[in-house]
């Protein structure tokens, strides 16, 4: 009895001490996070009424996410913990003309004082009566033997209008920067231009490649039957155009003489005929057209883009690429992964969100999947009508089944 009583007493003493210790930890070991009163103002030109604004606030260090809505107002006040924030705005406004239009904006904000104020400029979303990007397959596939097959990537561009369009002279641009890395380069103004590390130009005399309303074209890295190489890859021999890298022999790509080649106007890669899509997709793509008087030669002469940033060693890195003016761009979208996203690479007037394949960086389940645009219905001829709000988070299906998995069928 005494032994049992003594054991219970010691246990009670230990438990009491443990509780007191926890209490002390709560009192002295916990650090309250500092917060700031943040006032946001959203402004744009030629706007008479701000109908609805949807504000998304991402803290880039922790990944914490806040979503707010504002109606008939262009101000938002809230309390935010100290940190570094990426703010994205999508909304509907009444313009001076009386039209109801969509707008978007974005900004970065470092919160490190008790009160913070920021004005976020808003821009009208940029639409055109031309091609849009319906699908991009960039992940590659895994062979039955477990190896990566590094071909059969493609762009699928669709005529989402009610008139015949011509694919002649279309530009496809690949972003210079990544959505997963932000080096705070200078100068950099995505509201004016889109920086590219790769750019290709489709051939044609202007009316050589007509595309009916609702129909599409395929621009493949290599227009061959990849399914003959491995059962998990796709048959792209009926692609409309191709961009094979013949000089990089490690890719083992060949030129299909029956499919027209694009012209690689610029690439930052070691081989001047090579454009290679990032397998994890942390980049952006645009399609564009040269305005009257511009050519690929004048582009290379007049649109070089030089920038610099402070690297991890504390010294300055100087680099150069090229830039496509936003006024040339027809459509574009951003890609990323949830664990790596830091910023979008386009103006929010072109794309105010992002999509992607895979749940995290280098997700093995991303292979063999694509991003595809959502459909809204059918035309009277049975063709798809595609959603296009210039917000790829809303417009695209993540982790989609590739539409060309069983070959190209119009």
pLDDT in tens, the chain (410 residues): 333 433 333 334 333 333 333 333 333 333 457 999 999 999 999 999 999 999 999 998 888 889 999 999 999 999 999 999 999 999 999 999 999 999 999 999 999 999 999 999 999 998 989 999 999 999 999 999 999 998 899 999 999 999 999 999 999 999 999 999 999 999 999 999 999 999 999 999 999 999 999 999 999 999 999 999 999 999 999 999 999 999 998 888 999 999 999 999 999 999 999 999 999 999 999 999 999 999 999 999 999 999 999 999 999 999 999 999 999 999 999 999 999 999 999 999 999 999 999 999 999 999 999 999 999 999 888 999 999 999 999 999 999 999 999 999 99
| pLDDT at position 30 | 36
Which pLDDT belongs to residue 85?
93
pLDDT at 223: 97
Q: Are 216 and 134 in contact (CB under 8 A)?
A: yes
| Percent helix, strand and coil across the chain, each to the nearest 5 | 10, 40, 45
Residues 6+ apart with CB under 8 A from 336: 179, 180, 281, 282, 342, 354, 356
Report in angstroms the alpha-carbon separations of 176 from 181, 224, 262, 285, 391. Answer: 11, 28, 20, 10, 21
pTM, full prediction: 0.86
Q: Name the strand (E) or helix (H) holding 9.
A: helix 2-28
**Residues 71 and 52 sit within 8 Å (Cβ to Cβ):** yes
Q: Which among 290, 286, 311 is positioned nearest to 299, based on CA atoms?
A: 290
User: How do beta strands 284-288 and 165-166 pair?
Assistant: unpaired
Residue with tokens 């033997």: 145
Looking at residue 252, what is its pLDDT?
Answer: 84
pLDDT at 20: 34
8 Å CB contact between 308 and 185: yes
Tokens of 401: 């089944």
CB of 262 closer than 8 Å to CB of 142: no
CA distance 159 to 165: 7
Neighbours of 291 (CB within 10 A): 9
pLDDT value at residue 25:
38
Distance CA 288, CA 132 (A): 10
CA angle 306, 310, 314 (to 5 degrees): 145
What pLDDT shows up at residue 3? 36
**94 bridge partner residues:** 49, 100
| pLDDT for the residue 221 | 97
What dihedral angle (degrees, nearest 10) is formed by the CA atoms of 88, 361, 332, 178? Answer: 80
């Amino acid at each position: 009895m005494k032994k049992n009583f003594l054991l219970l007493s010691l246990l009670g003493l230990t438990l009491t001490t443990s509780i007191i210790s926890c209490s002390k930890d709560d009192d002295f070991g916990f650090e309250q996070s500092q917060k700031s009163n943040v006032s946001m103002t959203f402004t744009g030109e030629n706007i008479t009424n701000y109908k609805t604004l949807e504000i998304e606030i991402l803290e880039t260090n922790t990944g914490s996410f806040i979503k707010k809505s504002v109606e008939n107002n262009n101000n938002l006040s809230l309390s935010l913990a100290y940190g570094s924030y990426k703010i994205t705005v999508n909304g509907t406004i009444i313009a001076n003309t009386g039209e109801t239009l969509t707008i978007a904006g974005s900004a970065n904000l470092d919160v490190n004082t008790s009160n913070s104020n920021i004005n976020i400029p808003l821009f009208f979303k940029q639409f055109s009566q031309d091609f849009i990007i319906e699908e991009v397959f960039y992940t590659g596939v895994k062979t039955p033997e477990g190896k990566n097959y590094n071909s059969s990537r493609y762009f699928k561009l669709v005529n989402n209008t009610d008139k015949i369009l011509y694919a002649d002279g279309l530009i496809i641009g690949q972003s210079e920067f990544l959505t997963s890395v932000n080096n705070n380069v200078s100068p950099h103004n995505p509201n004016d231009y889109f920086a590219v590390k790769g750019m290709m130009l489709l051939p044609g005399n202007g009316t050589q490649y007509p595309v009916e309303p609702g129909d599409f074209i395929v621009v493949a890295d290599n227009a061959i039957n990849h399914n003959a190489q491995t059962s998990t890859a796709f048959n792209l021999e009926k692609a409309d155009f191709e961009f094979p890298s013949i000089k990089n022999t490690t890719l083992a790509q060949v030129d299909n003489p029956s499919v027209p080649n694009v012209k690689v106007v610029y690439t930052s890669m070691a081989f001047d005929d090579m454009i290679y899509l990032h397998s994890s997709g942390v980049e952006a793509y645009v399609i564009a057209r040269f305005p009257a008087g511009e050519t690929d030669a004048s582009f290379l002469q007049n649109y070089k883009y030089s920038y610099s940033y402070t690297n991890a060693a504390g010294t300055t890195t100087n680099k150069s690429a090229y830039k496509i003016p936003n006024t040339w761009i027809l459509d574009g979208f951003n890609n990323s992964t949830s664990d790596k996203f830091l910023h979008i690479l386009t103006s929010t007037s072109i794309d105010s969100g992002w999509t992607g394949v895979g749940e995290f960086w280098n997700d093995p389940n991303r292979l063999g999947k694509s991003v595809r645009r959502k459909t809204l219905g059918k035309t009277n001829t049975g063709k798809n009508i595609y959603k296009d709000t210039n917000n790829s988070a809303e417009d695209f299906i993540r982790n989609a089944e590739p539409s060309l998995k069983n070959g190209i069928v119009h």
